[in-house]
Amino acid sequence: MKIQLLNRSLALALRVADTRKPCDPAVRFADRKPPFRPSPVRAPFPRVDPREEGIDPGLLAEFLQRLSSDREIGAESVIVARNGRIVAEAAKAPASFDVWKNVFSESKTLTGLAIGFLFDEGKLRLDEKLADIFPDKIQPLQKLGLGGLNLRHLLTMSSLSDFNEFQSMTSTEWLRDFFESGLHASPGSAFQYNSLNSFLLAAVVREKSGTGLLSYLDRKLLKPLEIENVYWEKSPDGIEKGGWGFYIRPEDLLKIAELVRENGTFRGKKLLSRRWVEAMCRPAMVPEEDNGDFAYGLHIWVGNETGSRLLNGMFGQNTIVYPDTGFSVVSMASNADLFQQGSFFALCDEYFSSRAGAPEEKGEPLPDLGETLRAFRGEKSGEESETQKNARKTFFSFFRKREKPEKEALPAGAESFLNRTFIPDRIDYSLSVMPRVMQAVENEYTAGLSRISFGMTGEEFTVTFEEGKSVHKIPVGIGSWRETREKFGQTQWLLRVKGRFAFDEDDRPALVLDIRFVETPFKRVFRFYADGDSLELRADEKPGKAFLLRFAETMGGEIMEKPLVGPVLSRVDPDLLGYKLDALFSPHETLTEELTSIKKDV
């Protein structure tokens, strides 16, 4: 373990949690996510009536109802396919199938597939040692410390490296620091989930293929599957992260799922050997109970009871495949899950695994699938369905001119906000349009809210947030979602924004502002209450406090075992910690109207 890295990472964590001081990234990444550019999905899947695949539409409807109503799952979109044909799909507004999404640790399985292609080409062996793959990057003494670490250890999350995600946040050379940090136990002796194992595999792909991971996969996997419009974040070394940071659209992710389901074949074309995919999906390590009812194969999770194959990403990004029944399910969500702790997996097993069986007689008719899909999407009964709208868009539809909306009067209460500017009594440096967890994940910290204004731009209601030198003028859809793009730091994000005016129990005019970063699971909600010359602000974010508590519950034991760290954290008062987390993720501020704003009204 490198004490300097650990100290820097702890210092960064403390700065992130401190609302009184600005937080700057410890490392600045040269590579940033490019703006999303829409394009149609190529080679889309056929859509069929579920009965053509032997499925009762009512059972699918029941599954969707339970999925949609489970708030802990927080489902945003879902695709259900059987034998390579889509039988149901729905996205809750403002989520949609036409936008790429960060799938977090689902990325790992693609890295495992890349290793499989190299294996099929005879360019590597699973027992090949890292010291032999990187002879110029590992010093003689480091070779002794690595203790025979090989590719299988990386693939099965059993390297037991001391260099992990937490320390990578302050490292400028991940490859060097992985080797210098060493191992805390003999490799292969235990399971320990660590995304830097996947990063090392990405580096192996570069070393063995002579090109980057994404470039290699583009040639071997993505182009054959006609998958376009993807992106993979890179480390400070310029190497793809491997274990996270991959952006892909849900239907394209379904193509990966179908390749895994069919053991390396897609639509009759063999891309990867059956031998490799079956080896990937064979249980190799037994994780702790916190990781759900799954074993770990070679960079993929395997259901202990059902034989399902799972690509799992935190915050609820999941793709689960049932080879024996032909089902594949792609689900995007926004929740507090790190691994497989939620109810999503048992729900899928209940309906799609070989254990599903015949439906129980409940004495009530099963729900109607069409009505359920409309309800999932937030459409009213009787409205024209938009099923498959995004998947079937033509290329030119993205460039159609928007019809100019009819001018409508703003609802009651809006006049209490218009043409007014407010300044906070103090600057909370964690309070921003961008949620705090997202800032930490993206390594892009903001300067804190310093001024907020409400007004009209043409016929559109806008809210302007000033954060240090950055100004974010955000158009708001009143009662409907308004799409816009906004740059935070060096990265442009696609936002969908909706506002609603109301009055609170004290008859104060209120504005609820819902901001979704639709390329991610992150969302920010502001509640503003106009009260004379002051403005009360309450903010919330998701995933936020619940995610951090889940992280502490799942990973806390490992962190507490670290020298220097454990003794310090053990003295933290739980009540104080709860108060700090509320202040960080659910800030409550009072703002005062700026004098110039008052003068304009006079």
In tens, the pLDDT along 82-103 reads 999 999 999 999 999 999 999 9
* Neighbour tally for 219: CB within 10 Å: 12
Q: Point out the least confidently predicted range of 162-171, 206-215, 307-316, 572-581.
A: 572-581
- SS3 call for 185: coil
Give mean pLDDT, residues 188-214: 97
- SS3 call for 178: helix
- Residue 443 in tokens: 């390594």
CA gap 42, 539 in Å, rounded? 40
Predicted local confidence at residue 388, as pLDDT:
43
Q: What is the mean pLDDT of the chain?
A: 89
600 φ, ψ (degrees, to nearest 5): -60, -35
More confident residue, 341 or 168: 168
- List, in sequence order, every residue forming a beta bridge with 497; answer none if it has no partner: 482, 515
Q: Is 381 exposed, middle or buried (0-12, 13-18, 19+ CB in 10 A)?
A: exposed
Q: Is 483 exposed, middle or buried (0-12, 13-18, 19+ CB in 10 A)?
A: middle
* Neighbour tally for 282: CB within 10 Å: 12
Q: Provide the 8-state DSSP code for 237.
A: T
Domain map (residue ranges) of the chain: 36-98+250-395, 100-248, 414-601
- Residue 360 in tokens: 């129980």
- Using 50, 70 and 90 to split pLDDT, how confident is the model at 555? low
284 φ, ψ (degrees, to nearest 5): -120, -35
User: Is the Cβ–Cβ distance between 477 and 515 less than 8 Å?
Assistant: no
Task: Express each pLDDT in 568-591 by its tens digit.
Answer: 445 555 565 666 788 888 999 999
Q: Which of these, 194, 10, 106, 35, lies nearest to 521 by C-alpha position?
A: 106
Give mean pLDDT, residues 419-436: 93
CATH number for the domain running over 414-601: 2.40.128.20
Predicted local confidence at residue 360, as pLDDT:
59
DSSP string, 36-90: P---PPSSPPPB--GGGGT--HHHHHHHHHHHHH-TTT-EEEEEEEETTEEEEEE
Q: Point out the least confidently predicted range of 308-317, 440-449, 454-463, 503-512.
A: 440-449
Predicted local confidence at residue 398, as pLDDT:
42
CA distances from 587 to 5, 525, 573 (A): 31, 11, 20
- List, in sequence order, every residue forming a beta bridge with 333; answer none if it has no partner: 75
Give mean pLDDT, residues 557-562: 54
Predicted local confidence at residue 533, as pLDDT:
95
- List, in sequence order, every residue forming a beta bridge with 246; answer none if it has no partner: 232
- Using 50, 70 and 90 to split pLDDT, how confident is the model at 430? confident
More confident residue, 142 or 524: 524
Strand order across the 246-248 sheet: 101-102, 246-248, 231-232
CA gap 537, 373 in Å, rounded? 35
Predicted local confidence at residue 338, as pLDDT:
86
Give mean pLDDT, residues 395-415: 60
CA gap 3, 495 in Å, rounded? 40
Task: Express each pLDDT in 169-192 by its tens digit.
Answer: 899 999 999 999 999 999 999 999
Q: Point out the least confidently predicted range of 173-187, 329-343, 378-392, 583-597.
A: 378-392
Give mean pLDDT, residues 151-158: 98
Predicted local confidence at residue 577, as pLDDT:
63
Same fold, 36-98+250-395 and 100-248: yes
Q: Which of these, 36, 189, 38, lies nearest to 520 by C-alpha position?
A: 36
Give mean pLDDT, residues 443-458: 94
- Residue 600 in tokens: 């304009």
Predicted local confidence at residue 25, as pLDDT:
80
Predicted local confidence at residue 64, as pLDDT:
98
Residue 440: is its pLDDT beyond 80? yes
Tell me the percentage of the chain whose pLDDT exceeds 90. 71
Residue 104: is its pLDDT beyond 60? yes
Q: Point out the least confidently predicted range of 127-131, 208-212, 347-351, 444-448.
A: 444-448
User: Is the Cβ–Cβ distance between 74 and 335 less than 8 Å?
Assistant: yes
Q: Provide the 8-state DSSP code for 166.
A: H
Task: Give the DSSP H/E element, type plus range, for residue 311.
Answer: strand 309-313
Residue 390: is its pLDDT beyond 70? no
- Residue 373 in tokens: 């899909």
CA-only gyration radius of the chain, Å: 25
Residue 362: is its pLDDT beyond 70? no
Task: Express each pLDDT in 41-68 by its tens digit.
Answer: 999 999 999 999 999 999 999 999 999 9
CATH of range 100-248; options 1.25.40.80, 3.40.710.10, 3.40.50.300, 2.30.30.90 = 3.40.710.10
Q: Is 484 exposed, middle or buried (0-12, 13-18, 19+ CB in 10 A)?
A: middle
- Using 50, 70 and 90 to split pLDDT, how confident is the model at 596? low
Predicted local confidence at residue 359, as pLDDT:
57
Helices (H), 107-212: 107-120, 130-133, 140-146, 151-155, 165-168, 174-181, 195-209
Residues 6 or more apart in contact with residue 540 via CB below 8 angstroms: 524, 525, 527, 585, 586
Give mean pLDDT, residues 357-364: 60
Residue 358: is its pLDDT beyond 60? no
Q: Return the C-alpha torsion angle 540, 468, 500, 390, nearest 10.
A: -90
User: Is the Cβ–Cβ distance between 221 and 115 less than 8 Å?
Assistant: no
Residue 325: is its pLDDT beyond 50? yes
Q: CATH 1.20.950: does it fit domain 36-98+250-395?
A: no
Q: Point out the least confidently predicted range of 124-128, 188-192, 397-401, 529-533.
A: 397-401
CA 51 to chain centre: 33
Q: Is 152 exposed, middle or buried (0-12, 13-18, 19+ CB in 10 A)?
A: middle
